[in-house]
Copies of this chain bind each other. A is one copy, B any other.
């Protein structure tokens, strides 16, 4: 089975051809310009490669309602050129194959659930902490939808007393997760990008507390069997033990399950697929599109 996969990000588009077991046969990356410039490049990548279907994990918000006339579109994104772009149908029409479609983070979550750190879990949360913060959710083995889809970056957090910028930097929301803890928020708060802050900089303790608040909140709402934290900011390995410790402090013994009563080393983890979670998930979406 030869499948096409697209991880459609706001900065770059990763295309791949691969197999249902996650093997990548070839891959190419394109900058995200406008739909008029970029979509033809992506379609040319897949054309002639005999893919049986294409799976797309896209930046959003996206329309995942199968009954909607705009199903498969990017909707109200702040990337204005991409607003209301019917991305799934553009590929279906151009390539003549079925197209699977979901959010980029639901795709990554699906990849991790089937082939990564979440193998054996029927539910999990995948969070990317980078330019933005997004969450993908697997429940009963499938990506979760609802009225829309998870927009985890915009949960409101309790400000930490030692935060010099407790309102954060989101243009929509005072004190939301993305505004407080994304890569750009780190840079705005401390005047330098995260990668230029030493591992002992107080930035990381504060960052860990905000991410731990998020973990505690999703444990009492979505109740995932595993929390997988990926994205550029999570390359700072020193964050993981801090996040586990603070999550435990926030929960304060209220939730008593084997997953969270210990040190949570197997509960709050990094992606098993590393930076390939998204493109692997897109392959799995392609496979499902053939059903």
Contact = CB atoms under 8 A, between A and B. Distances in A.
**Interface of chain A, main secondary structure:** loop
Interface in A126-160: 135, 139-140, 144-159
B75 A151 contact: no
A216 B172 CA distance: 13
Contacts of A213: 156
A147 B259 contact: yes
Copies in the complex: 2
A-side interface size class: 35 or more
A219 interface: yes
Interface stretch (A14-22, A199-207, A250-258): A250-258
**A145, A148, A152, A221: which has the most chain B beta carbons within 10 Å?**
A221
Contacts of A259: 147
A257 B256 CA distance: 36
A124 to B, nearest CB: 9
A111 interface: no
Given A123-B147, A140-B140, A135 B257 contact: no
Given A61-B256, A135-B221, A256-B61, A157 B154 contact: no
Interface of A: 61, 75-76, 123, 135, 139-140, 144-159, 172-173, 175, 213, 216-225, 250-257, 259-260
Given A123-B147, A150-B223, A155-B220, 11 more contacts: A61-B256, A75-B256, A146-B223, A147-B219, A147-B224, A147-B259, A151-B219, A151-B254, A156-B250, A158-B159, A222-B222
8 contacts: A61-B256, A123-B146, A139-B146, A148-B223, A148-B257, A149-B223, A156-B157, A172-B254
